[in-house]
Amino acid sequence: MVAGLFLAVLGPRFLGWWIDPSFEGPAGAVLQILVISSLVFLPVRAVALPVLIGLGKPRTPAIALAAAGVLNLGLSIVLIGPFGLAGVALGTAIPNILFAVFVLAIACRELEISLPNYLKYVVPRATVGAVPVLALLLWFRLGLRVESIFGLITAGSVMVLVFGITCIFFVYRNDPYVNLRIDLVRRRAWSRA
């Protein structure tokens, strides 16, 4: 999530620095579309899909992934005319989001977790973790107008620090499933071994 937020807010600036300032607008828009959709797609692809495969239920998500691929191609062809490369990015983003919602619903059903309960647990925590980071990145972009590689590296470093502090003190505080204190003690013990 943190890398995605960085790319969505400051990724266009990086492209402008790396390639040419003229790339910040058009290539930046494509990057933002794809990154924002990946914030929905990748967690489901990385967690819910392997859970379904582990449960021996790969058929439905495999068919959904193939359908998303076909829809991706179709939408990209239709949207490239009116929107250019951003249309192709939308043609990829829309099927990815639809796939994620579909597979998430299937995974929740298979695990006997209601979708509202899952969302009630995940969305507030993700929001608490994302809002301070997003505010910080927007400040770097709009307030400080960061454009240099040094500024981008500084923004990324401060962002990681803010995200870590936010997670430790707010996101995972009193979490019924994650006890950071025990996990950190275990990791520390392993590092000594």
Question: Block means of pLDDT (10 residues each) for the chain, length 193 residues?
Answer: 96 96 95 97 94 96 97 98 97 98 97 95 92 97 96 97 90 81 76 68
- The pLDDT of residue 28 is 96
- Rounded to two decimals, the pTM is 0.86
- The pLDDT of residue 93 is 98
Q: Which domain holds residue 83?
A: 2-192
Determine the Cα–Cα distance for residues 141 and 133; give it in Å rounded to an integer: 12
Contact 167, 129 (CB under 8 A): yes
- The pLDDT of residue 183 is 75
Could you tell me the two tokens for 68? 């998303």
Place of tokens 């290539």: 27
- List the beta strands (DSSP E) in 21-89: none
Which residues lie below 8 Å from residue 78, measured CB to CB, with a gap of 6+? Answer: 87, 91
Contact 93, 33 (CB under 8 A): yes
In angstroms, what CA-CA distances link 167 with 128, 131, 159? 8, 11, 12
Could you tell me the two tokens for 44? 């489901």
The DSSP element (H or E) to which 35 belongs, if any, is helix 26-43
Total number of domains in the chain: 1
Determine the Cα–Cα distance for residues 23 and 192; give it in Å rounded to an integer: 48
- The pLDDT of residue 53 is 95
Determine the Cα–Cα distance for residues 24 and 15; give it in Å rounded to an integer: 6
